Amino acid sequence: MDYTQISTLITSVGFPIVACIIMWKTLQDSTAAHKEEMDAIRDSLNKNTVVLAELKTLIEDLRNEAGGHGSDE
């Protein structure tokens, strides 16, 4: 193989390989960032669920103290 054939091979095959590697790395980074974001959202949602359950209990207790009939469910 001479220099021209090697250069042609790298140009025709090398660029797509490098492009695929870069795209794969970008996808991996994006997936990791998405996982971190979703973990933060999951934590917030779980905390909100706890607070809503506490609020529901508080409202039911206040209704019962006021002579209400409990929840409307």
Neighbouring residues of 63: CB distance < 8 A, sequence distance ≥ 6: 69, 70, 71
CA 54, CA 1: separation in Å to the nearest integer? 76
Specify whether the CB–CB gap between 60 and 70 falls below 8 A: yes
Specify whether the CB–CB gap between 64 and 70 falls below 8 A: yes
Q: Which pLDDT tens digit goes with each residue over 7-66?
A: 787 788 888 888 888 899 999 999 999 999 999 999 999 999 999 999 999 999 999 998
pTM over 0.85: no
